């Protein structure tokens, strides 16, 4: 018998929208010119890249000149961190302990190399940054680089970007936000945000893997992290991933066009799972603000159960039953190290944490199947 497959790991990655797959197949056959070539093949590819940049910029209410294509979120985060700290000779940086490793590791490397002092801003029991502590840290230090993610990929906590941006502006700090989990899932009007850098990744919103972008405000001026050719107006060398870029722009366009209806649908799925979990598992707990549907990332539901010995096998058994979910972020579960976010948010509790994450393709049947599977395992 064929096992049913249920994909509840959409914060790790999403399936590519079928219309984008079709578009990519067609483009792969036709648009193979190198955008740097001056002949018609090259010019056609260049046009695709520039049209994509314009589409993205318009959706975010910014100028195309602020958008630079990258290989994804990790590169965008690294670029913002390393280049601005280096170019502005920054000596102090602030992040939070629940940042993604694409932010934590480059910052910790710079700290180890004694290039910066790294401070961690206090967070409350939900993972929300203390604005008062942020202000204290900024007040008592030289010009600072601040990196606070918009929504946490493991517990769904959303940070007040606008307020954080305001505080950073007051102290002339450079503000980077990892928006990988919220780009194309929430509307953005960049003109209203005091943010210098934002990171995005297409595979989190039904685009392909290995392509993303960084938004860079005109108020900062950095030199490239990757050196070579003159692509991306000399900001990011390397032949452009034309196909991926066009697909990224298309995925973003589709997401924003259907945003209201998709958000409503996914919130309904999340609420249904919360309700079913509460009915069938009296001992279930919910991380951070996961049950607060309008104040948490609607795609993420992270839960926990009191730890039992056989939970070691939980993810393996769910996988055998065709269910994909994770024990934190994709990298944490892959590396089998446990989640630094789960353990930071509830350091004293001996629990087994599971992250379920949804998309517009998740169905109530998927949830029912998962609940039934959990009943046999918990």
Q: Is 153 in the site for ligand PLP (CB under 6 A)?
A: yes
**Among 98, 123, 180, 266, which residue sits at the site for ligand PLP (rule: CB under 6 A)?**
180
d(CA 74, CA 329): 14
d(CA 108, CA 113): 9
d(CA 75, CA 352): 31
From the list 120-128, 176-184, 235-243, 292-300, the region that binds ligand PLP by CB under 6 A is 176-184
Q: How far is the CB of 260 from ligand PLP (least distance, A)?
A: 24
Between 255 and 276, CB nearer to ligand PLP: 255
Q: How far is the CB of 101 from ligand PLP (least distance, A)?
A: 8
310: DSSP letter: G
326: DSSP letter: B
Q: Is 331 designated active site?
A: yes
Number of residues that bind ligand PLP (CB under 6 A): 15
**Among 52, 62, 74, 370, which residue sits at the site for ligand PLP (rule: CB under 6 A)?**
74
Instruction: Report which secondary-structure segment, H or E, holds 39.
Output: none
Contact flags string 183-212 toward ligand PLP, x per CB under 6 A: ------------------x----------x
- How many C-beta neighbours within 10 Å does residue 354 have? 26
Q: How far is the CB of 73 from ligand PLP (least distance, A)?
A: 3
Q: Is 262 in the site for ligand PLP (CB under 6 A)?
A: no
Q: Is 9 in the site for ligand PLP (CB under 6 A)?
A: no
Q: Is 155 in the site for ligand PLP (CB under 6 A)?
A: no
328: left (phi over 0), alpha (psi -120 to 50) or beta: left
From the list 133-141, 174-182, 313-321, 339-347, the region that binds ligand PLP by CB under 6 A is 174-182
Q: Is 73 in the site for ligand PLP (CB under 6 A)?
A: yes
d(CA 45, CA 132): 48
Token reading at 62: 């910014």
From the list 178-186, 239-247, 311-319, 361-369, the region that binds ligand PLP by CB under 6 A is 178-186
d(CA 82, CA 105): 11
Contact flags string 97-116 toward ligand PLP, x per CB under 6 A: ---x-x--------------
Token reading at 315: 């993810």
From residue 3, how far is each of 86, 320, 323, 324, 369 by CA, in Å? Answer: 52, 8, 10, 12, 11
d(CA 27, CA 250): 13
Q: Is 96 in the site for ligand PLP (CB under 6 A)?
A: no
- How many C-beta neighbours within 10 Å does residue 281 have? 15
**Among 149, 284, 290, 374, which residue sits at the site for ligand PLP (rule: CB under 6 A)?**
149
283: DSSP letter: T
From residue 49, how far is each of 29, 250, 353 by CA, in Å? Answer: 16, 12, 41
From the list 137-145, 177-185, 217-225, 273-281, the region that binds ligand PLP by CB under 6 A is 177-185
Q: Residues in the site for ligand PLP, rule: CB under 6 A?
A: 72-74, 77, 100, 102, 149, 153, 178, 180-181, 201, 212, 329-330
- Residues belonging to the active site: 331
């Amino acid at each position: 018998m064929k096992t049913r497959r249920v994909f509840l790991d959409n914060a790790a990655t999403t399936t590519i929208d079928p219309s984008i797959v079709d578009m990519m197949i067609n483009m792969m056959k036709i648009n193979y010119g190198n955008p740097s070539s001056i002949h018609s093949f090259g010019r056609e590819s260049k046009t695709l890249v520039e049209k994509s940049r314009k589409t993205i910029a318009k959706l975010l209410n910014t100028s195309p000149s602020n958008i630079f294509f990258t290989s994804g979120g990790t590169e965008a985060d690294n670029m913002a961190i390393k280049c601005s700290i280096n170019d502005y000779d920054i000596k102090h940086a602030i992040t939070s302990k629940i940042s993604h490793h694409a932010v934590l590791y480059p910052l910790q490397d710079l700290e180890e190399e004694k290039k910066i002092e790294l401070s961690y801003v206090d967070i409350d029991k939900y993972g929300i940054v203390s604005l008062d502590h942020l202000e204290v840290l900024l007040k008592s230090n030289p010009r600072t680089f601040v990196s606070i993610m918009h929504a946490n990929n493991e517990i769904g906590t959303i940070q007040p970007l606008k307020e954080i941006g305001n505080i950073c502006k007051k102290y002339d700090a450079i503000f980077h936000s990892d928006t990988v989990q919220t780009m194309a899932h929430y509307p953005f009007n960049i003109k209203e945000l005091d943010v210098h850098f934002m990171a995005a990744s297409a595979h989190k919103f039904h685009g392909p893997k290995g392509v993303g972008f960084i938004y860079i405000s005109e108020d900062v001026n950095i030199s490239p992290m990757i050196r070579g050719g003159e692509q991306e107006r000399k900001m990011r060398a390397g032949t452009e991933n034309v196909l991926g870029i066009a697909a990224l722009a298309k995925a973003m366009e589709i997401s924003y066009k259907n945003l209201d209806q998709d958000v409503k649908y996914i919130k309904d799925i999340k609420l249904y799972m919360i309700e079913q979990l509460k009915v069938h598992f009296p001992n279930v707990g919910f991380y951070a603000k996961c049950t607060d549907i309008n104040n948490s990332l609607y795609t993420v539901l992270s839960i926990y159960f009191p730890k039992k010995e056989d939970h070691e096998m939980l993810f393996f058994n769910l996988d055998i039953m065709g269910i994909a979910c994770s024990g934190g972020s994709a990298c944490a579960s892959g590396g089998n190290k446990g989640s630094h976010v789960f353990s930071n948010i509830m350091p004293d509790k001996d629990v087994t944490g599971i992250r379920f994450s949804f998309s517009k393709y998740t169905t109530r049947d998927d949830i029912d199947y998962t609940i039934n599977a959990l009943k046999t395992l918990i």
